[in-house]
């Protein structure tokens, strides 16, 4: 082929646009100059979001992908930029979220000469991403981008990394090579369906079961399988529980919705539903340590297991399986629902159903409301969750950091609609996720109100991104649970190490004043009676807001974390 010549940087930009990319999150550097120049000059229809940190750029791309269904793109320069972007890549990859991290690099011709910022980028990213390549020749740019998008969005979605050396960005590429399958810019792409014989085996098990329970992981929401799940649950009269990442698979007000189960966000009332089952169906869920409370619920060998996942390596990794389906969650659940509806199983002997779910939910929320109505100070976390239940619209998106916010909001914040409305970084649980991730969520779904809830430990990780929020004018509400400690660790020191607290406490920061310095409209709340009206004022304000809540420390609270409750 021959035709017009593009520079490598121009070809890279054109290939991103050909895959229907709309937003890029990133941070400039010396090795990125040709790439940035191409972004400036070309008419590509993409928006570049300048961030203040490469890790934050990756978290933005992650949450953007989760709420928009598009591949999230983040980028940074060589050296420190490549190492800083890693946490977001590994979080997205382990959460089956397709993001592409583009790190520019020193010139190929400069390798091995002690060049500033030189490192083995492909070796660095190989164990952490689903797919990685450093492009050594400009002519390979188009085919590498096509391979990356195929890898990210096909099979089990995941993160990719591309290294783009400085001289490769300047070398020529034939324009005729610029083509792409536009559908690969969204996920899941090229879905795979289940084996019909395996479907029949699962239907047989479900028909024989007297007490089936479905446990949904993040794969259900990632695949858009909510409607198929509801069909199957209704056909079986089977309770549906979720993991932290699976929230939104079923609306919390559905009569078969159990809520979150497991050691983070689960409570004894929800665990009881899993314990009472004779068959547990895991869907888009790895059945890992948190969901199963270290593989105790369900009990191995006592309860049958059906496992459904797009990744065949997941099935049988943690539990022996009596039935399995390998494929996209939406296609698998639809096939099961069709077959169960056709089989018309006898449900008259079922021991689990809507009545049991309703009783357990009453038990759970009666205990919650006793604390949520408390006027104690510092403000109880339950009161904060209850206030946000009252203040937020049904289509809101809440991004929660993994410390204090995650268990409370997983257990008690009501998701009244299906789909992605709750996000927490459950794969590796790094602090600092919620503030920057909320930026990606707000850009990915601008019609929804986005709220970011973080501990004060997390606030210190990423508060510099308030400048990004103000510059973009994003109407995000940031809530800081202020208790002047790394609460999760302090609670662990209390319950597991005799209350020998060490190096977990720090001085209280006036978070409202810090946010105000960036231009964020801010409030501080210490009085429980002022909490709901202040949150409503912040949520209704047309620009970014911050509410600093003086809250009860986690080690003094009654968090829905099973190891602490015990």
Per the CB < 8 A criterion, the answer to whether 89 and 101 are in contact is: yes
Query: Helix or strand or coil: residue 448?
Result: coil
Determine the longest span between alpha carbons in the chain, in angstroms.
76
Specify the pLDDT at position 554.
85
Residue 284 per-residue DSSP state: S
Cα–Cα distance for residue pair 74/251, rounded to 1 Å: 32
Asked if the model's pLDDT at residue 392 lies above 50, the reply is: yes
Per the CB < 8 A criterion, the answer to whether 190 and 156 are in contact is: no
Q: Sorting pLDDT into bands at 50, 70 and 90, what band is 63?
A: very high
b/e burial code for range 32-41 (CB count within 10 A of at least 16 → b): bbbbbebbee
pLDDT digits (tens, 9 = 90+) for 397-422: 999 999 889 999 999 999 999 999 99
Handedness of CA 343, 215, 367, 548 (dihedral sign): negative
In order of 157, 245, 314, 546, 553, the CA distances from 402 in angstroms are 22, 12, 24, 19, 15
Cα–Cα distance for residue pair 407/133, rounded to 1 Å: 37
pLDDT digits (tens, 9 = 90+) for 446-473: 999 999 999 999 999 999 999 999 999 9
pLDDT digits (tens, 9 = 90+) for 2-23: 579 999 999 999 999 999 999 9
Compute the average pLDDT of residues 271-296.
Answer: 97
Per the CB < 8 A criterion, the answer to whether 210 and 349 are in contact is: yes
Cα–Cα distance for residue pair 566/563, rounded to 1 Å: 5
Specify the pLDDT at position 1.
43
Q: Token pair for residue 428?
A: 């590796």
| Torsion angle, alpha carbons of 57, 59, 60, 61, to 10 | 90
Compute the average pLDDT of residues 342-366.
Answer: 95
Residue 346 per-residue DSSP state: -
Residues 6+ apart with CB under 8 A from 295: 287, 289, 318, 319
Cα–Cα distance for residue pair 250/417, rounded to 1 Å: 8
Per the CB < 8 A criterion, the answer to whether 32 and 10 are in contact is: no
What domains can you pick out in the chain, each with its CATH number?
5-185 (3.40.50.970), 196-356 (3.40.50.1220), 373-565 (3.40.50.970)
Chain-centroid distance, C-alpha 227: 20
Cα–Cα distance for residue pair 246/288, rounded to 1 Å: 13
Compute the average pLDDT of residues 124-133.
Answer: 98
Residue 524, exposed/middle/buried by CB under 10 A (0-12, 13-18, 19+)? middle
pLDDT digits (tens, 9 = 90+) for 179-197: 999 999 999 999 999 999 9
pLDDT digits (tens, 9 = 90+) for 299-349: 999 999 999 999 999 999 999 999 999 999 999 999 999 999 999 999 999
Per-residue DSSP letters for 240-257?
EEE-STTTTSS-TTSTTE
Specify the pLDDT at position 60.
98
Asked if the model's pLDDT at residue 566 lies above 80, the reply is: no
pLDDT digits (tens, 9 = 90+) for 205-217: 999 999 999 999 9
In order of 247, 333, 433, 445, 555, the CA distances from 439 in angstroms are 20, 33, 10, 10, 30
Please list the residues that pair with 102 across neighbouring strands: 75, 162
Cα–Cα distance for residue pair 318/331, rounded to 1 Å: 23
Q: Sorting pLDDT into bands at 50, 70 and 90, what band is 132?
A: very high
Specify the pLDDT at position 3.
72
């Amino acid at each position: 082929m021959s035709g017009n010549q593009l520079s490598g940087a121009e070809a890279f930009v054109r290939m991103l646009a050909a895959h229907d990319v709309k937003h890029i999150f990133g941070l400039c550097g010396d090795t990125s100059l040709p790439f940035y120049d191409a972004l400036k000059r070309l008419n590509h229809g993409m928006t570049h979001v300048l961030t203040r940190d490469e890790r934050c750029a990756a978290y933005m791309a992650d949450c953007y992908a989760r709420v928009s269904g598009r591949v999230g793109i983040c980028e940074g320069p060589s050296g420190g930029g490549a190492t800083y972007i890693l946490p977001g890549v590994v979080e997205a990859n382990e959460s089956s979220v397709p993001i592409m991290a583009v790190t520019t690099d020193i010139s190929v011709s400069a390798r091995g000469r002690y060049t500033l910022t030189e490192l083995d980028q492909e070796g660095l990213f190989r164990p952490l991403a689903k797919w990685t390549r450093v492009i050594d020749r400009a002519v390979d740019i188009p085919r590498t981008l096509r391979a990356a998008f195929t890898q990210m969005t096909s099979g089990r979605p995941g993160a990719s990394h591309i290294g783009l050396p400085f001289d490769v960005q300047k070398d020529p590429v034939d324009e005729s090579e610029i083509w792409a399958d536009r559908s690969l810019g969204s996920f899941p792409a090229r879905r795979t369906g289940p084996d019909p014989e395996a479907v029949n085996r699962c239907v047989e098990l479900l028909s024989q079961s007297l007490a089936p329970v479905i446990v949904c992981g993040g794969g259900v929401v990632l695949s858009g399988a909510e409607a198929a799940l509801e069909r199957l649950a209704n056909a079986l009269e089977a309770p549906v529980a979720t993991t932290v990442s699976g929230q939104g698979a079923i609306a919390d007000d559905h009569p078969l919705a159990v809520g979150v189960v497991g050691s983070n966000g689960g409570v004894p009332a929800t665990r009881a539903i899993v314990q009472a089952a004779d068959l547990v169906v895991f869907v888009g869920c790895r059945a890992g340590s948190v969901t199963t409370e270290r593989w105790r619920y369900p009990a191995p060998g006592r309860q049958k297991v059906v496992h459904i996942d797009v990744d065949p390596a997941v099935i049988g990794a943690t539990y022996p399986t009596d039935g399995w389906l390998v494929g996209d969650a939406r296609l698998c659940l639809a096939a099961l629902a069709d077959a169960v509806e056709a089989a018309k199983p006898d449900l008259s002997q079922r021991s689990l159903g809507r009545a049991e779910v309703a009783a357990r939910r009453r038990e759970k929320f009666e205990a919650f409301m006793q604390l949520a109505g408390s006027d104690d100070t510092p403000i109880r976390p339950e009161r904060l969750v209850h206030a946000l239940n009252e203040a937020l619209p049904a289509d809101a998106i809440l991004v929660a950091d993994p410390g204090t916010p995650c268990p409370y909001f997983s257990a008690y914040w009501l998701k009244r609609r299906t789909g992605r409305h709750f996000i927490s970084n459950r794969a590796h649980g790094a602090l600092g996720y919620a503030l920057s991730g909320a930026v990606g969520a707000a850009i990915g779904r601008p019609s929804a109100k986005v709220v970011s809830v973080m501990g004060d430990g997390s606030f210190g990780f990423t508060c510099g991104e308030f400048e990004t929020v103000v510059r973009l004018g994003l109407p995000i509400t940031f809530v800081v649970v202020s208790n002047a400690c790394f609460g999760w660790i302090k609670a662990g020191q209390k319950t597991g190490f005799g209350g020998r607290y060490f190096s977990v406490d720090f001085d209280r920061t006036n978070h409202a004043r810090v946010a105000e310095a960036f231009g964020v409209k801010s409030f501080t709340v210490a009085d429980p009676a002022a909490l709901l009206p202040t949150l409503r004022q912040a949520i209704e304000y047309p620009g970014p807001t911050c509410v600093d809540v003086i809250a009860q420390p986690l080690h003094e609270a009654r968090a829905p974390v099973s190891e602490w409750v015990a």
